[in-house]
Amino acid sequence: MRLPDSCGGSSGRMIELRHVLDFLPDLSTAFVQTILNSVLIFVTGMLLAMLHQITSALVVPNWISKGWSFWWRSVPEVSVIVLVYYGIGGPMNALGPREIGIMVLSLISSAYISLLIRAAHEQLDPRQVESARALGISRLRTQRLIVWPQILKHLRFPMIMYYADVVKQSALLSVIGVYGATMEAYRLGSDTFRYLEALVVVAALFFLYISVVEYLARLVGNKRRASPNDRVWWDRP
């Protein structure tokens, strides 16, 4: 369906650099807030994941622990954010949208980070722990000197990559009106009818930031990205 011109439906409108430059300061400030939110979500998620690991090792049955992880991984983030914010009253009324959003995304992150920690733990050779225990090293020292240094080595790459996911997830907080880059782009777009410029700027900010994070992840994890010069089986004569 073609829109009438009075609705802004004239095709061929191009992006105007003037508006891009106008929006850049506001959107950059909002993007910094998005990054702060994502760091907060990531750190809280990590702490909750540690708690989850400890409780599942000590008291909680394995099936409850797995079910908890599966629940948070299967239910869409935006669905939980919206339903918790609009649906649950009572003590949640005392919290603002930012707190609720960060809490929900932290819980979801904790499920994913728990999985990453478990996968890293499974890479560890159990004989190392048994040897340490046989040598009389205490359980705490075994964890501190043998287990965690190796787990951290395996965790570096997936954790940084997951942080990139958290940054993208934090854009969803705009759904409940939390101040951030997406919310600001939407506001600027509706105020000035310049959605194109506002969204292009915010998309570029996300793209650049996440590309840098991915690059760092590859650098730290010592992973090489495929180069256009690499030859694959298709190229063989």
Applying the rule CB under 8 A, the residues between 63 and 102 that interact with other proteins are: 70-71, 73-80, 82-83, 86-89
Applying the rule CB under 8 A, the residues between 191 and 230 that interact with other proteins are: 195-196, 199, 202-203, 206-207, 210-211, 214, 226, 228-230
Cβ within 8 Å of residue 172, ≥6 positions away:
77, 78, 81, 101, 105
Query: Among candidates 127, 116, 134, 146, which has minimal Cα distance to 49?
Result: 116
* Cα–Cα distance for residue pair 139/132, rounded to 1 Å: 9
Q: Report the nearest approach of other proteins to the CB of residue 212 (Å).
A: 10
Q: Does 185 bind other proteins (CB under 8 A)?
A: yes
Of these, 175, 179, 216, 218, which contacts other proteins (CB under 8 A)? 175
* Cα–Cα distance for residue pair 159/151, rounded to 1 Å: 11
Report whether 102 contacts 40 (CB < 8 A). yes
* Closer residue to other proteins in complex, CB, 142/169: 169
Q: Does 123 bind other proteins (CB under 8 A)?
A: no
* Cα–Cα distance for residue pair 217/44, rounded to 1 Å: 20
Cβ within 8 Å of residue 151, ≥6 positions away:
117, 120, 121, 124
**How many residues form the binding site for other proteins (CB under 8 A)?**
54
| Contact footprint for other proteins (CB under 8 A) | 1-3, 8-13, 70-71, 73-80, 82-83, 86-89, 164, 168-169, 171-172, 174-175, 182, 185-186, 189, 195-196, 199, 202-203, 206-207, 210-211, 214, 226, 228-230, 232-234, 236
